[in-house]
Chains A and B, each alone.
Chain A
């Protein structure tokens, strides 16, 4: 097995996903298969090829430091389940 159930559980927790015991088994198996498939990439000889983080060969997209129009606040808050005094309301966070 490429990945342990406990690892799937850990990643699920980091993503705040609540996953049942049965699903954990299933995902461990599926994720394991994906990882196995990715292993085939390791068979390619990459000596002398620089690492890359992008599929396109572009660099340096900039914007100038000019202020643009802001969003209407009502619109910004439109999806908020709860709002108050122009702010998003969330359960108390330890400060």
Chain B
């Protein structure tokens, strides 16, 4: 039978605030265990949590960026369960009346556009961290992360393949980073994803039994785990079996999902409104102010890059995936207004260099102004395209400007026709056999002559002039 996958994703994005959601403890990563704690986040009796306004601001930004409806009144609830990383015995979250519902995100897979619905966005607190001691019957608890603000973004079950799930996650992360509310680092856990997946016979409507996948801590893992889980469920269904509704953990070393044991207790969280926290009321003015503060978002920027700079859809997509890259591109254009040339150098040489050095574009040794300087030298014929690549390497290594390197190393392109003509004559005189062969019809030898002349000038001769002169002189 032909099956269709139905996928929905839950993302937890850590908000980039200075302090926790309900107390003034720092959210900074990497402090010594239990040094960023206070009676509120430790759940001591008699304390009062107070909502961090910045958490609401950031959540509103994201909600508006993905076209959600904002609840004029929302509230916090207690989700009750026992686990050693949860000192209060409940997590403060939102259940009924979340801050935002019914949004959407546009994705594109293999050239096909699609809209993925956002069911809801809500605010909640993170739990602490359990460190397991190998070979010992204990775990160590660090509550520094307890109370760090999270935004949970729940999608509709609108995705039909692991690739669509990947595209959704990448777009979501791109938006989060554009608006600056989350750093989107999956490996460090500031952007976490759980996936719900089920299968149904293609062409039918009712959902099959789903499983929930956890421990998906990279984009690659999300897609691999979904591929594995779809195959696993398909094998069960094809044998006439039934998929068990359960939570499964992805094991990246074994490339398999495994049932999480010890969760046989049915979830019964007994949510109820948290009496310590007042209802949150958001008025039109607040919404309008946040909406006006939003920067240009990835989709709008991509469309503008295509329209304004004549870039291909692919180039515009690559250049706008991260705001920093788009900013770099436009800063470069401010000094050297040839969009396609700039795009090619950023996506080619610069990206390759940054990837090798494992650096972000904001830490690039070559600034947008210095890249523009290099491209200007090339464009005005001062240096050849080939030399430009050499100069680029040197700029990356030393941080010097292109002009300084060209000056220092004497790399100015030789455009003096007489000088090049003399070299052409010398090269031809030194290779009479090749000259004869060329004249007898072996035109491919032109490359050999060009190479010889370029070698003589250490790449500095203008390739155009060399080509012209050679062609003229080689004709019988």
Interface residues of A (CB under 8 A from B): 10, 14, 16, 53-54, 58-71, 73, 76-77, 82, 84-95
Contact = CB atoms under 8 A, between A and B. Distances in A.
Interface in B131-160: 131-133, 136-143
Contacts of A73: 32, 34-35, 37
A63 B50 contact: yes
A92 B132 CA distance: 7
A67 B278 CA distance: 22
B52 interface: yes
A67 B37 contact: no
B38 A71 contact: yes
Contact of A60 (B39, B130, B278): B278
A85 B278 contact: no
Nearest to B35: A73
A62 to B, nearest CB: 4
A66 B34 CA distance: 19
Given A59-B281, A82-B138, A84-B138, 16 more contacts: A67-B19, A67-B25, A67-B26, A70-B38, A71-B39, A73-B32, A73-B37, A87-B34, A87-B140, A88-B34, A89-B138, A90-B130, A92-B136, A93-B84, A94-B262, A95-B130
A84 B266 CA distance: 33
Contacts of B196: none
Contact of A93 (B37, B73, B139, B275): B139
Contacts of B132: 92-93, 95
14 contacts: A59-B281, A65-B17, A68-B24, A70-B38, A73-B37, A82-B138, A84-B138, A87-B34, A88-B141, A90-B139, A91-B138, A92-B136, A93-B139, A94-B262
Contact of A68 (B23, B80, B143, B273): B23
A68 B252 CA distance: 40
A81 B69 CA distance: 47
A44 B430 CA distance: 111
Which one of A70, A85, A91 has the highest number of Cβ atoms from chain B below 10 Å of its Cβ?
A70
Contacts of B25: 67-68, 70
A69 B26 CA distance: 9
A93 B132 CA distance: 8
Contacts of B84: 88, 90, 93
A53 B76 CA distance: 10
Contact of A62 (B17, B23, B52, B273): B52
A54 B275 contact: yes
- The secondary-structure label for the interface of chain B is loop
Contacts of A93: 83-84, 130, 132, 139
Interface residues on B, range: 35 or more
Contacts, number: 129
A76 B268 CA distance: 30
- DSSP majority for the A interface? loop
Nearest to B249: A95
B454 interface: no
A59 B282 CA distance: 10
A65 B270 contact: no
A66 B270 contact: no
A89 B84 CA distance: 10
Nearest to B261: A94
Interface in B17-60: 17-19, 23-26, 32-39, 42, 50-54, 56
Contacts of A62: 50-53, 56
A54 B277 CA distance: 9
Contact of B19 (A68, A76, A77): A68
B201 interface: no
5 interchain residue pairs of minimum CB distance: A68-B24, A53-B273, A87-B140, A65-B54, A62-B53
B279 interface: yes
A58 B261 CA distance: 44
